[in-house]
Amino acid sequence: MSRIASTFARLASQGRKALVPFITAGDPDAATTQELMHTLVAAGADIIELGVPFSDPMADGPTIQRASERALAKGMSLKKVLACVASFRARDQETPVVLMGYANPVEYWGLEEFARSARTAGVDGVLTVDYPPEEAGDYARALTAQEIDPIFLLAPTSTPERVALVAGMARGYVYYVSIKGVTGAGHLDVDAVARRVPEIRAAVGLPVAVGFGVRDAQSAQALASCCDAVIIGSRIIEEIEHSPPEQLHERILALIAPIRAGIDRAGG
Amino acid sequence: MQNPDLPDQKGHFGPYGGIFVAETLIPALTELRDAYAGIREGKGFSREFAAEFAAELKHYVGRPSPIYHARRWSEELGGAQILLKREDLNHTGAHKVNNCIGQALLARRMGKKRVIAETGAGQHGVATATVAARFGMECVVYMGAEDIARQAANVYRMKLLGATLVPVMSGSRTLKDAMNEAMRDWVTNVGDTFYIIGTVAGPHPYPMMVRDFQTVIGIEAMIQMRDQFGRQPDVVLACVGGGSNAMGIFYPYLGEADVRLIGVEAGGDGIDTGRHAAPLSVGRAGVLHGNRTYLMQDEDGQIIETHSISAGLDYPGVGPEHAWLKDSGRVQYLSATDDEALAAFHALCRYEGIIPALESSHALAHAAKIAPTLPREQLLLVNLSGRGDKDIHTVAARSGITL
């Protein structure tokens, strides 16, 4: 069983939902990212999503785009992201790591080469936001050949046909975008999510993680009651952006702990 | 060679094109694809849409644009005859407006009351603001903060035309960042908003749709060549940034095997300096802005900043159909440097009394390069895609003159 599947199985047996924090690799620098990954686990993260910075992050809002720019300015690259994961794996063999990024750096490296290197580094899943299922055939095959889960996005506007298309390719979990638009924008409509998630879970046969819009314990708790995993990204990036370096780990712990508690209150 | 029936259903030109966007954009593109299919019929537009489009192009844009024989310049060059397809005479001063009219008509049919656009030098922004005013639509234009600083006149034009200008502060603060920002707006406001992309790039159906709206250039040229010269040209040349003016004039000629087609990219300081905007000349395929095509990128697959004296060619990608036409060998892609384009710019001013856009000057530069090597009876048709009034500050600055 993959690390992602066994994580969801363990949580299900405990009647708990997953907490999935997102940070951009290399923001503010590679060494901090490696330490932050352990901090996130200590704060209660079940899976870590690691953003791969890209020069043109079309699907991200301004917060994550700024994180990408800071990381690229420090020389972060796809290869160095894998180095971060490998160094994390030296101390943590349990927590799944999912890369989230854009198609071009992956294509430039070569799908098979990338997939092989990602597996060696200890990557468990990859979400490439600009590979919709129609364009993702070769990519998904390259990943699954290396036992890496291809993670796909679904949106409130996804038709049943598109959900079925994703069901045919996705592994690990699916990432349900809870609101229209880009990362970090708009308002959270929990009722709308609650109405849609069961249908998606049934159609895809995988856990449904919900993201885009979670900012605090309350919104996390509300969301956790109707999905399998809560993703929190922009709010963490803002904390990284504004925290003095010496307070960063403490502040991330203080941010995540109540969110973890909120998710656990939602229960199974 | 027959006119290839591309793109396929999924928007592919061979390995290029396609729909590389996040799931959130899919419904917007599906809605657009279906609406566009509704105005197509066979290889052209439905009769109703064609009549509407033709009337706008005639009475508002001032089409057909003439083909003009640049006799004095041809004489000076001492070889083949240079003919100019005068897109510079269109309302707003460039070919861009053809496409904006087409997309605005489609937006109106779809009931969209708000149009958005990205712009680099401001030409496409001005053209979009123009048609938005003409059709009474709200207009928001995204423009990189760097470009806003460099293009004060176009910024003011857009404001005069009633558009709201949004400065883009992210990334390199230029065209590609404006395109990212416009996509974000579209995702968020898809219900009432139509995104007018200015070139033959972006996710399907944009490369096909923009090409089809610009094909009027080539269709007119074929008729005019037959009527004025009794035959088709030996060579057709056009500059290529995103590549919409080139697709517009090339497309009807793809099936004419005797007509050589040459696309001229921005060579900047020279291809070997790395400071240029010529992805077809030296780039490698990748994925950006919703399609797979040739890109300017570094060894980590990050998109790199480009350089050209012409803001309209300063883009790291190129339309996917050009990528396909390059690989298939049907079109030859070369580049002209900033200096070569400037020399052609000055030559056309002095010999013909026409101030060409710096973009178009790249195509003129290559025509000037090959004309002396060809017999006098050969005909070179250059797409003079825009007028150069917007560029006089740039040209003056290169000569050390402040206006």
Contact A103 B20 (CB under 8 A): yes
Distances (CA, A) of B304 to A65, B174, B368: 16, 12, 30
**Whether pLDDT at A162 is above 90:** yes
In this predicted model, what pLDDT tens digit does every residue of A26-66 receive, in sequence order? 999 999 999 999 999 999 999 999 999 999 998 888 899 99
Contact A181 B170 (CB under 8 A): no
**Share of residues in chain B with pLDDT > 90 (%):** 88
Q: What is the predicted pLDDT for the residue at A1? A: 81
In this predicted model, what pLDDT tens digit does every residue of A58-109 receive, in sequence order? 888 889 999 999 999 999 999 999 999 999 999 999 999 999 999 999 999 9
Nearest to A69 among B171, B286, B303 (CB): B171
Question: Per CB distance under 8 Å, which residues of A are interface residues toward B?
Answer: 54-59, 61-62, 65-66, 69, 72, 77-79, 102-109, 129-132, 134-135, 152-155, 157-158, 162, 177, 180-182, 185-186
Q: What is the predicted pLDDT for the residue at A183? A: 54
In this predicted model, what pLDDT tens digit does every residue of B124-175 receive, in sequence order? 999 999 999 999 999 999 999 988 887 888 999 999 999 999 999 988 788 8
**Whether pLDDT at B3 is above 60:** no
Residue type, B316: P
B277 CA to chain A: closest CA distance, Å? 17
**What are the tokens at A47?**
């899976």
Q: Which residues of A touch B188 (CB under 8 A)?
A: 180-182, 185-186
Give the range among A175-179, A209-213, B114-118, B324-328 with minimum mean pLDDT: A175-179
Q: What is the predicted pLDDT for the residue at B252? A: 97
Interface test with A, best of B8, B20, B142 (most A CBs within 10 A): B20
**Whether pLDDT at A184 is above 80:** no
End-to-end CA distance of chain A: 22
Tell me what the mean pLDDT of segment B260-269 comes to.
Answer: 98
**Whether pLDDT at A228 is above 90:** yes
In this predicted model, what pLDDT tens digit does every residue of B377-391 receive, in sequence order? 999 999 999 999 999
**What are the tokens at A249?**
């780990």
**What are the tokens at A108?**
């430039």
Q: What is the predicted pLDDT for the residue at B1? A: 40
B167 CA to chain A: closest CA distance, Å? 13
Q: Which residues of B touch A153 (CB under 8 A)?
A: 22-24
What is the rounded average pLDDT for all residues in chain B?
95
Q: What is the predicted pLDDT for the residue at B180? A: 85
Q: In the block, which residue shows the tokens 């300081």?
A: B269
Instruction: Using DSSP, state whether A242 is helix, strand or coil.
Output: helix
User: So which residues of B are the catalytic ones?
Assistant: 96, 118, 385
Please give the residue of chain B at the shortest CA–CA distance from A176.
B23
In this predicted model, what pLDDT tens digit does every residue of B363-377 receive, in sequence order? 999 999 999 999 999
Q: What confidence tier does A268 reach under pLDDT thresholds 50, 70, 90?
A: low
| CA-based torsion, B361, B362, B368, B371: positive or negative | negative
Q: What is the predicted pLDDT for the residue at A35? A: 96
Q: Which residues of B touch A131 (CB under 8 A)?
A: 20
Q: What is the predicted pLDDT for the residue at A118? A: 98
Nearest to B301 among A109, A129, A181 (CB): A109
B8 at A interface, C-beta within 8 A:
no
Strand B16-20 and strand B290-295: pairing?
antiparallel
DSSP string, B79-109: SSEEEEEEGGGSTTSBTHHHHHHHHHHHHHH
A141 CA to chain B: closest CA distance, Å? 17
Measured in whole angstroms, the distance separating CA A131 from the mean position of its chain's CA atoms is: 15
Contact A130 B23 (CB under 8 A): no
Closest CA to A135 of B388, B147, B10, B210: B10
Q: What is the predicted pLDDT for the residue at A212? A: 67
B145 CA to chain A: closest CA distance, Å? 15
Q: What confidence tier does B2 reach under pLDDT thresholds 50, 70, 90?
A: very low
What is the rounded average pLDDT for all residues in chain A?
94
Give the range among B25-29, B104-108, B284-288 with minimum mean pLDDT: B25-29
**Share of residues in chain B with pLDDT > 70 (%):** 99
Angle CA B228–B234–B235, to nearest 5: 110
Tell me what the mean pLDDT of segment A127-140 comes to.
Answer: 97
CA distance B384 to A173: 53
Q: Which residues of A touch B184 (CB under 8 A)?
A: 58, 61, 181-182
Nearest to A182 among B20, B184, B302 (CB): B184
**Whether pLDDT at A14 is above 80:** yes
**Whether pLDDT at B4 is above 70:** no
Tell me what the mean pLDDT of segment B181-202 comes to.
Answer: 92
Interface test with A, best of B168, B197, B300, B315 (most A CBs within 10 A): B300
CB pairs under 8 A between A and B: 116
Question: What pTM, to 2 d.p., does this model score?
Answer: 0.96
Q: Which residues of B touch A108 (CB under 8 A)?
A: 284, 286, 297, 299-301
Contact A132 B27 (CB under 8 A): no
Give the range among A24-28, B240-244, B312-316 with minimum mean pLDDT: B312-316
Which ipTM was obtained for this model?
0.94
DSSP one-letter code for A94: S
Q: Which residues of B touch A106 (CB under 8 A)?
A: 301
Give the range among A245-249, B167-171, B195-199 with minimum mean pLDDT: B167-171
Q: What is the predicted pLDDT for the residue at B115? A: 98
Q: What is the predicted pLDDT for the residue at A227? A: 95
Q: What confidence tier does A186 reach under pLDDT thresholds 50, 70, 90?
A: low
Contact B183 A180 (CB under 8 A): no
**What are the tokens at B143?**
């423009």
Contact A130 B303 (CB under 8 A): no
Q: What is the predicted pLDDT for the residue at B187? A: 82
Q: What is the predicted pLDDT for the residue at A187? A: 59
Phi, psi of B156 (to 5 degrees): -70, -40
Tell me what the mean pLDDT of segment A234-240 comes to.
Answer: 96
Q: What is the predicted pLDDT for the residue at B311? A: 86
